[in-house]
Structure 1
Amino acid sequence: MSTTFASNQPDLSLPSSGPNWTPYDEYNQDDTSFALYTLTSLSKSELEDLRDALDNEWWEKQGKEGTHLIRLPPKYDFSGKSLKDIVKSHDELNRQHGDELEWYPSAFVVVVDGFREKDGALLFVYEDTEDEGRAMSSFKFPIKQAYMVLSSIMFGDEDPKDIEANYKASQV
C-alpha cells in the first residue's frame, strides 16, 4: 500500500496560451498598476508591508502623486491554489474597465515561497504579446531589483524577455 503526500509547493504551471490580453494594448495604460498576488500564506498586513516596500521608490520618484506601481487587487490571496487560478482572476480584473484600465493587463507579480530569504525573489508572470499563440511565461526576479524590473516594463523601456536576460533571473 503506497501513501501519497500532498505537496506544500504551489502549482506554478501556466496555461499553454494566455487569455488574450492583447486587445488591451489599444487602451490607455498610463494609470495602471501591477497586481500583487500571493500563493503563500501571508497575513494581509505582511502583504501590505511587502507591497509598500516594492512601491516605495516609485512613489517617491512620482512625488507621491498619481498611480502606484504595484497594488493589491480585490482578490489577492491564492494560498493553496494554483498559478492558473491567478491567471483566471487577473483576466477578470480589467473586464469592467470602460475607457481606462486600472491594472496592467498582460503581467502581474506573485509572492511565492522563499521570498523572505536573504536574496528573496518574486515571480513575474506575463503574456508574450508578440507571440501569436499568446504564450505565457514567468521568471523569478530579486526583490531588491523590483523597482528596476517593474518600472522598466511600465515605461516600455524593456520587455519581459529582455528583463529576464538583463537581470539574470532564473526561469521557473
Structure 2
Amino acid sequence: MIYKNEEFKITDEIIDIGYMAEDVDVEDVKDQELTIKKASPERTIQIFLSYPDFEDFKEEIIFFDDFINDSKVEINTYLFFNKKIELPKLKKLIPVFDVNNEFGEMYGTKIVSGSMENKLTKALFIIGKDGAIYHIDIPQDLEKPLDIERVRVELNKVYQSYTGVGCHG
C-alpha cells in the first residue's frame, strides 16, 4: 500500500466478503468500553470505516458523514481510529477507538510498517443485517478517495438482500 509516496504493509489476515463479521471491543469518545456486535441489535446495516488519522482525511470523512446522514435508511456507521483523538461533532458517524487492537487485527486494517505503523489503514466494510460482510473497500493508494458510487450500489444490494424472515417466511 502507499500514502504520499511511502509504501507500507498491513497485517496479513484480512477478513473477506461472505464471512461473518466479528464482534470488537472498542472505546467511545467518553472513554467507555463498547462492544460492537457483528449484527446490530436493531438489525440494521452497519458500516465499519477506518482511517489512519482525522486531519489528513478530514474532507473525505466529513463528506462520508454527510453521505450517510442523507441516507433514507438507518445505517450504523462506526469510524475507527487506533487511539483516542479529538474530533469535531459528526452528524451520523460514531467515532470509536481500537485501543485493544482488535479491529485492526481481526479485520486486517492494522498498518505494520512505515511511519504510520500501528495505525489503521483506510478501509470500509459493509455488514448486512444478519452480520455477513457484503462489501470491502481497502484502497491501495490512500490518497484516492473511497468509491462512493460503488458504496451506494452495494448499500442498495445489502438493503434488498435480507428481509429478516429467513427462508421459510
Shorter-chain TM-score above 0.5:
no
Give me the TM-score of the superposition, normalised by structure 1: 0.38
Give me the TM-score of the superposition, normalised by structure 2: 0.39
Which has a greater percent of strand?
A: 2
Q: Which has the higher contact order (CA 8 A, sep 6+)?
A: 2
